[in-house]
Amino acid sequence: MASRVETAASPQRQGEAKRSTKGCLTCRDRRVKCNEEHPVCGHCTRLKLKCEWRGKHVPLKERRALGAKRRPPRCLAPHQEFGVAGEMLATQPFYGTHLWLPSSDFDQNAVHCPTSNTFNVQLLNVADGHYERGRSLLAKLLEGAEPDPLVVVASFWFLYLHQRRWHSERRACYAELSAWMSQYLNRRQLHLELLVSREEDTHGGGNGLTLLPNTRAILARLTIWLFWADTQASLVGGGQMARLLAHTLSPHGMLSLHEISRGALQLYWGTNYPDDEVADDLLNAGAIELVHHMWVLVQEINEHVPSAPMDPETSRDIDDRLDALRQSFTIRSVFRLAESPTAGRGRLITNSDWAVANYHAVRIYNFRCSITEERRQFGGDDGDINETVAALVLLLQRSLATNDRQQIDRLQWPLVWAGVETTEPFKQNWILSMLSNPVARDTVQSIIEEQQNGTRVSMQRMCEICRARCETREGAGSRGTTPLFGI
């Protein structure tokens, strides 16, 4: 008898085991049969229930993220007072980097487009709001009584950073910021004041008495950073502030300003500045100084771009100065470290990479600005430029193999000149893949296409292409880029 009952029950159990799993979630939760009618099943229609269905099936390998899950960012809205930011931007020892990680993503695309993993429309809209409010506040500040120079210069730096990071195609904004900076420095004579210490201002008539040593050093560092950035932006609307500094300060004065800026952190922190940071500053001083020398030379070359080709004597003088710098900084091992085939490239080597890559790029830039019509053919009398290009590409490949985002950003300018001058398709494609700024990538791509006939484009034509790509990107509303020529 029992056997018959079990036999009779068996088909029912088998039927239950094969029950469809495609019913709505509401019926499955209530453990009732669903007729699977879409969009609302019969059971939910009869009882007037909310009929919910399972979403599209996603394979497990696609569901498993490569990094941490993104969480909604906490950000300070432009209308909020800065005083409420304390809790949101806390920097206590135990509120550190490890708490930022859950809000980040990792994507293999970040290797070749390093800002794609941090692009967030909500944050960018908030940042744009901050930019506009900061711009308005700065304009009012400059119209009023004599403002604190540290507030003004720091504001210029943050506004410039926002433009370079997110709107590098906006030539008008670059021109406006550069003009503001130039006018402020010229009116305040701040760049000249920074070269005069309180002890040296013996006449008592200068403004140097108002600047403490730590403030002077911080202002010098911000001014140097702005000079580097504005020098690079000369092809996209900037350059006025860089021209002012180049015209009013000698190369020696520019080097002195850099020397003053080196003590900013140590003067600010005093005895609390860690010994290992002091050692790090000393170790990296040579590479950073070479970087500064390169931007001073770039600005000198910028002066000749509108009338290129430049005078041969001027070009030879720049080449001679580059040779002298190589000899000087070879003694300090900067070139040796950059040319090392070491795979694991720490901070000291990557800074040397940055400096030497800029060195090679300046050589190419000088060559491009000085070539005459009869020397524009590839494969002709190119002198040592082919060796320079080969050395630069090899250095870039070694340095960028680390996939370090900051290094990719900093080497955008050398990548541009390597891409413009190299003729090997494989290297051209690799360089284009590493140009994370769309304006730079489009510009180099267009130049490569125009040079397929074996003739180099002129500097005037390069400027035209760059302006056209900026206008195209600005019209398309390009957002979320890396700096056009990242420093």
Tell me: the pLDDT tens digits for 197-235?
655 544 444 444 468 888 999 999 999 999 998 888 877
Q: With left for phi above 0 and alpha for psi between -120 and 50, is residue 201 left, alpha or beta?
A: beta
In angstroms, how far is CA 4 from the centroid of its own chain?
A: 78
Tell me: the pLDDT tens digits for 332-364?
889 999 988 887 888 899 999 999 999 999 999
Distance CA 437, CA 309 (A): 28
% of the chain surpassing 70 pLDDT: 74
Distance CA 24, CA 35 (A): 9
Q: Given a cut of 90, is residue 430 above it in pLDDT? A: yes
DSSP 74: P
Q: What is the mean pLDDT of residues 397-413?
A: 88
Q: Given a cut of 50, is residue 87 above it in pLDDT? A: no
Q: What local confidence, expressed as pLDDT, does residue 487 receive?
A: 38
Q: What local confidence, expressed as pLDDT, does residue 31 receive?
A: 83
Q: What local confidence, expressed as pLDDT, does residue 134 receive?
A: 84
Tell me: the pLDDT tens digits for 413-423?
999 999 999 99
Cis before residue 102, ω within 30 degrees of 0? no
For 3-7, 122-126, 306-310, 381-385, which range has the lowest pLDDT when averaged over its residues? 3-7
Which of 210, 159, 209, 220 lies closest to 185 in space, CA to CA? 220
Tell me: the pLDDT tens digits for 148-192?
899 999 999 888 888 777 666 667 777 888 888 999 999 889 899
Tokens of 290: 């070479």
In angstroms, how far is CA 56 from the centroid of its own chain?
A: 38
Q: Given a cut of 60, is residue 120 above it in pLDDT? A: yes
Q: What local confidence, expressed as pLDDT, does residue 115 receive?
A: 40
pTM: 0.71
What dotted CATH number matches 2-63? 4.10.240
DSSP 306: G
Q: What local confidence, expressed as pLDDT, does residue 251 receive?
A: 85
Task: Tell me which of 468 and 391 has the higher pLDDT.
Answer: 391
Q: Given a cut of 90, is residue 390 above it in pLDDT? A: yes
Tell me: the pLDDT tens digits for 268-312?
888 899 999 999 999 999 999 999 999 999 999 998 887 778 888
Q: Given a cut of 50, is residue 365 above it in pLDDT? A: yes
State the chain's mean pLDDT as an integer: 78
Q: What is the mean pLDDT of residues 77-101?
A: 37
Highest mean pLDDT among 46-55, 77-86, 393-402: 393-402
Helix/strand/coil for 482: coil
Q: Domain coordinates of the chain in residue numbers? A: 2-63, 122-273, 316-487
Q: What local confidence, expressed as pLDDT, does residue 19 receive?
A: 52
Q: Given a cut of 80, is residue 458 above it in pLDDT? A: yes
Q: What local confidence, expressed as pLDDT, does residue 200 receive?
A: 55
pLDDT band at 4 (very low <50, low <70, confident <90, very high): very low
Tell me: the pLDDT tens digits for 69-80?
444 444 555 544
Report the DSSP beta bridge partners of residue 377.
455
Q: Given a cut of 80, is residue 45 above it in pLDDT? A: yes
Q: What local confidence, expressed as pLDDT, does residue 422 receive?
A: 94
